[in-house]
Structure 1
Amino acid sequence: MRNLITDVPGLAVGQAEDPVVASGVTAILFDTPATASVDVRGGAPGTRETDLLSPEKTVGAIDAIVLSGGSAFGLDAAAGVQALLAERGRGFAIGDVRVPIVTAAVLFDLLNGGNKAWGRFPPYRELGYAAAAAAGPDFALGTAGAGYGATTADLKGGLGSASTIADSGHIVGALVAVNAVGSATIGLGGHFWAAAFEQDREFGGRGLPSTWPADAAKLKMKGADPGANTTIAVVATDAVLTKPEARQLAVMAQDGLARALHPVHTPLDGDTVFAAATGRRPMADPIYDLARLGAAAAITLARACARAVHAASALPLPGALPAWRDRFGG
């Protein structure tokens, strides 16, 4: 186990960044079409092809999920991923034509100091293609991919991932780009809200504070406009799920954001969680095993959020937020 979403068999992750723009893309490619759904919360989402993930819609499976910086400009990244998949002959068959099904969500990183004067066409289509071409089992965390330009209220945000084996025996993985209006840490200290779920010192091993700080509940939020934030994530499992079951998994997984970030799901965020199933192992009990998968997904996503912030490095730009390691050590 790599403690990455790629521990789930049947998928690969690729990333690409532009340091000048201070933004990037993360692409999740499935070996074969995966059953998927989504849960969108908060007041300012930016998404593509999420309607077809509703349980009643015709297309039953997808080829890829894309997470990108760039706000609405970043939706172009999905076209780049779609182009690579088309070259490989992937996609939903309609007669002699195949249409790769690529869904996506974006976060706002346009005010992080990078050069966004890219001219007529933003770079995200090419970044999406490059990310898809680089897909494999290993990938960087922190200031990487869709998390390259991400921030939180007081620290650099980033790209995080984690995995676990659920009580049902299925593998569950999470991937997240943390760009929250709130904070991943408690009060003014370096303890993570997700500390109760940490495994093997994966985000510093500090645990919870021995004495709960008086400022723990004090809100720390960015002073940005609505839509200038958003945490976007994917949870995946090797279980066999229907689209309604995938939808329920995404709903339960959203609790992981609530356990790792404070506040969350605000009018200033567009928090979005995709759930995907690669269909390698059936569930013995569709009701209780789904509950076990959802519980594992929430905790795994919380851990991934903390790993994203813990692994991040500050951008080498004027006024950039410090990284967790800069403020609290290794």
Structure 2
Amino acid sequence: MKNLITDIDGILVGNATDETLKSGTTTLICAEPMVASYAVLGGAPGTRDTDLLAPDQTVERIDALTLSGGSAFGLDAAGGVQGWLKEQGRGFAVGPVSVPIVPAAILFDLANGGDKNWGQKSPYWDLGWQAAKQAASDFALGSHGAGSGALIAGLKGGLGSASMRTASGITIGALVAVNALGQATMGESPNFWAAPFEQNREFGGLGLPASMPPDIALPKTKMDAMQEARGQSSNTTIGIIATDACLTKAAARRLAIMAHDGFARALWPSHTPMDGDLIFALSTGAKDLPDNDRAFIELGAYAAATMARAIARGIYEAQPRANDIFPTWQQKFGK
């Protein structure tokens, strides 16, 4: 396994990045239409076509999911993904026309030092097209795609992914663009909040600190760090939790809710009024999940742990770029 969401058969991911813009788009392409739902626990979300994902809505399956920078402008990226899919003959049949279903969520990265003077038309439609066209089983983490311009409290954010396989053979994968108001590390230490869930030193292997920092419970936010950097705070963590377990839309929604525990375990604080924290849940339906409560509870717990790991990887893998407001984790703590 590659420790990526694409360890789940039938899922491809593409990134498109504009370094001058300091922003980008990430899209997940489904090989076949897949069941999906979502859950928002942040107070400032930005979305497209998410109402379709409610369990009582008509459309059962989707063709792709898009995560993008750009705030509301970034929702244009889903149009680019949709255009590419239409060229491939994909979509929900409506009479003689097929409409690709591409729900999307965005994060706010408009105040991160990039050039946002794009004129009449935003670049995000084109970024969406490029991301879809480049979708593959391998993709870059850190300062790429939707994580290109992401920031957290005092550090660069980034794009993260992680995966695992349960003892019963079910695969779970997470993909997340981390642009949180809060911290991913404990106080002033380099240790990640997600440390208890780390596998194979995927974000440095530091574990927990030998003694807990005295300021560990103090919520340090991007608002404080931005004041020091003379910038404006901008937030939101958006992610996808996917599995090859066969789920209904209602079960997918519950999985998305449980996966939000991964946000709370990896970011302090999370789900604030100034974050648009959102998770999509996706099921390929390839494998049957045992028909009992325990099996689903375990799936949800593993989903939260996998999401927490993906968040830490996104921060750990961030790379420095020109005109950065904050340092990367590697610049601040790496040897």
Which TM-score bucket, shorter chain as reference? over 0.9
The DSSP-based 3-state class of the residue aligned with 1:188 is coil
Residues 45, 227 of structure 1: 8 Å contact kept: no
Partner of 1:326: 331
Instruction: Check if 1:239 corresponds to 2:217.
Output: no
- Counterpart of 1:139 in structure 2: which amino acid? F
CA shift for structure 1 position 320 = 1.8
Task: Give the whole-Å Cα distance in 2 for the aligned partners of 1:106 and 1:286.
Answer: 35
- Counterpart of 2:267 in structure 1: which amino acid? L
CA shift for structure 1 position 228 = 2.2
- Counterpart of 1:131 in structure 2: which amino acid? A
Query: Counterparts of 1:290-301 in structure 2 under 5 Å?
Result: 290-301=296-307
Task: State the Cα deviation string for residues 203-251 of structure 1 (Å, max 9, x = none).
Answer: 0000000101101111111126998200000000001110000001000
Task: Give the whole-Å Cα distance in 1 for the aligned partners of 2:278 and 2:331.
Answer: 29
How many residues are aligned here? 329
The DSSP-based 3-state class of the residue aligned with 1:36 is strand
Partner of 1:120: 120
Instruction: Check if 1:278 corresponds to 2:284.
Output: yes
Task: Give the whole-Å Cα distance in 2 for the aligned partners of 1:63 and 1:226.
Answer: 35
Task: Give the whole-Å Cα distance in 1 for the aligned partners of 2:127 and 2:100.
Answer: 18
Partner of 2:174: 174
Task: State the Cα deviation string for residues 246-288 of structure 1 (Å, max 9, x = none).
Answer: 0010000000000000000000100000000011111122532
Give TM-score, length-normalised by structure 1: 0.98
Higher mean C-alpha displacement, 124-133 vs 219-228: 219-228
Residues 76, 124 of structure 2: 8 Å contact kept: yes
Partner of 2:4: 4
- Counterpart of 2:25 in structure 1: which amino acid? V
Instruction: Check if 1:256 corresponds to 2:255.
Output: no
Task: Give the whole-Å Cα distance in 2 for the aligned partners of 1:278 and 1:227.
Answer: 37
Query: Counterparts of 1:119-268 in structure 2 under 5 Å?
Result: 119-223=119-223, 228-268=234-274
CA shift for structure 1 position 95 = 1.6
The DSSP-based 3-state class of the residue aligned with 1:129 is helix
Residue 191 to residue 227, structure 1, CA distance change in 2 (3 Å): closer
The DSSP-based 3-state class of the residue aligned with 2:52 is helix
Residues 111, 233 of structure 2: 8 Å contact kept: no
Task: State the Cα deviation string for residues 84-126 of structure 1 (Å, max 9, x = none).
Answer: 0000000001121100000000000000100000000110000
Partner of 2:295: 289
Task: Give the whole-Å Cα distance in 1 for the aligned partners of 2:282 and 2:43.
Answer: 23
The DSSP-based 3-state class of the residue aligned with 2:43 is coil
Task: Give the whole-Å Cα distance in 2 for the aligned partners of 1:239 and 1:286.
Answer: 13
Query: Pick from 308, 311, 326: which aligns with 2:314?
Result: 308
Residues 227, 269 of structure 1: 8 Å contact kept: no
Structural RMSD (CA): 1.3
Higher mean C-alpha displacement, 245-254 vs 286-295: 286-295
- Counterpart of 2:196 in structure 1: which amino acid? A
Partner of 1:70: 70
4+ residue runs over 3 A deviation: 224-227
Higher mean C-alpha displacement, 287-296 vs 41-50: 287-296
Instruction: Check if 1:81 corresponds to 2:81.
Output: yes
The DSSP-based 3-state class of the residue aligned with 1:102 is coil
Partner of 1:94: 94
Residue 227 to residue 71, structure 1, CA distance change in 2 (3 Å): farther
The DSSP-based 3-state class of the residue aligned with 2:103 is strand
Partner of 2:44: 44
Residue 101 to residue 256, structure 1, CA distance change in 2 (3 Å): same
Higher mean C-alpha displacement, 2-11 vs 165-174: 165-174
Give TM-score, length-normalised by structure 2: 0.96
Task: State the Cα deviation string for residues 288-319 of structure 1 (Å, max 9, x = none).
Answer: 222121111100000000000000012210x5
Residues 168, 293 of structure 1: 8 Å contact kept: no
The DSSP-based 3-state class of the residue aligned with 1:235 is strand
Task: State the Cα deviation string for residues 173-194 of structure 1 (Å, max 9, x = none).
Answer: 0000000000100000100000
Residues 5, 174 of structure 2: 8 Å contact kept: yes
- Counterpart of 1:287 in structure 2: which amino acid? D
Task: Give the whole-Å Cα distance in 2 for the aligned partners of 1:218 and 1:227.
Answer: 18
